[in-house]
Amino acid sequence: MTSQLTHTESAEVPWDIPVRGTRRTETAPGLVAELGRVSSATACAKLHADGIRRTFVHGPTPLVPGQQATGVARTLQFMPQREDVASGLGQEDVEKHTALWEVLEIIEPGDILVVQAFGSPFAGCFGDMLVRYFKKKGGAGIVVDGYIRDAPRVKQLGVPIWCRGTTPHYASQSDLFPWGYDVPVAVGGVLCLPGDLVIADDDGAVVVPAAKAPAVVETARDHEQWEVFSRLKIDDGARLGDYYPLTQATRDEYEQWRRDA
């Protein structure tokens, strides 16, 4: 193929860029809404107990504290630039032909865009215009293991974003290039597959494997209910070791409290 993504227009490259993957779409009705009532901390703990130990996306934090987002993962993969294959020379005109523009066209209401960007401070993966378009498409939030630009305007848009910080760079200005979408990505040391579920709040972002999501909802419901009971008892002066976590005796007390509620 003759690449329009490089500085050498006649160069033959072995990849059709962008790389397009697929995403599973069979999310049970109501599952995302139910998962939205689960905190990232509870989801992380329940997955750990079930043997899934690397779910916390380390690095990205809320751009605006106090926001929460839950949705189905749509993935975007940045890769290191190599000038004979793909580079950012040509600026935004080049980016129009990349995975960054294409993934925005297939965003569905409720999607969370999960972005592999290697924590690079020299790639502003999203700015005002792109986030504005993402919002118009109904996207629920963005988790990017990297940086964004146009921070004041992006904050005004109200789209929940988790990122490592802000930068004046555009997406392919320096060391990365938007390579593929709907492909597996690595974010903050965690594998995210297209179609996984994502919970993000002030504690950070957690990837919930799609097959594990119903069990997380079920176990989290009980966990968060008994924590309400435990808080009440601790506030009343009860001993921490008796109520966090519950012992068999205090679980019996909790079950009676539930029946009486």
What pLDDT is attached to residue 149?
97
Lowest mean pLDDT among 180-189, 196-205, 213-222: 213-222
Give the integer Cα–Cα distance in Å for 184 and 232: 43
Which tokens go with 152? 């004041």
Give the integer Cα–Cα distance in Å for 81 and 71: 30
- Residue 12 amino acid letter: E
User: With contact defined as beta carbons under 8 Å apart, do 197 and 35 qualify?
Assistant: yes
What pLDDT is attached to residue 211?
93
Average pLDDT, the chain: 91
What percent of the chain shows pLDDT beyond 90?
79
Q: Confidence class of residue 104 from pLDDT cuts 50, 70 and 90?
A: very high
Q: Confidence class of residue 24 from pLDDT cuts 50, 70 and 90?
A: confident
The CATH classification number of 19-208 equals 3.50.30.40
Give the integer Cα–Cα distance in Å for 70 and 247: 32
Mean pLDDT computed over 229-236: 95
Q: Confidence class of residue 12 from pLDDT cuts 50, 70 and 90?
A: low
User: With contact defined as beta carbons under 8 Å apart, do 82 and 191 qualify?
Assistant: no
Give residues with Cβ within 8 angstroms of 166, minimum separation 6: 124, 147, 148, 149, 151
Q: Are strands 204-208 and 147-148 parallel, antiparallel or unpaired?
A: unpaired
Residues 185, 189, 190, 194, Cα dihedral to 10°: -10
Helix (H), strand (E) at residue 133: helix 128-136
Mean pLDDT computed over 241-248: 93
Give the integer Cα–Cα distance in Å for 178 and 81: 9
Is 60 exceeded by the pLDDT of residue 139? Answer: yes
Domain boundaries, the chain: 19-208, 215-260
Helix (H), strand (E) at residue 39: none
Is 60 exceeded by the pLDDT of residue 8? Answer: no
Mean pLDDT computed over 14-38: 86
Mean pLDDT computed over 207-235: 92
What pLDDT is attached to residue 92?
59
What pLDDT is attached to residue 132?
98
What pLDDT is attached to residue 220?
87
Give the integer Cα–Cα distance in Å for 245 and 66: 27
Give the integer Cα–Cα distance in Å for 53 and 13: 38
Mean pLDDT computed over 156-176: 95
What pLDDT is attached to residue 26?
74
What pLDDT is attached to residue 186?
98
Helix (H), strand (E) at residue 230: helix 213-235
Query: Is the link from the previous residue into 245 a cis peptide, with omega within 30 of 0?
Result: yes
DSSP E strands, the chain: 19-20, 56-57, 61-62, 69-80, 111-116, 141-144, 147-148, 161-163, 165-166, 176-181, 185-187, 190-192, 197-201, 204-208
What pLDDT is attached to residue 204?
98
Is this model's pTM higher than 0.75 or not? yes
Which tokens go with 101? 């523009």
Give the distance, in angstroms, between the CA of residue 183 and the centroid of all CA atoms in the same chain.
Answer: 14
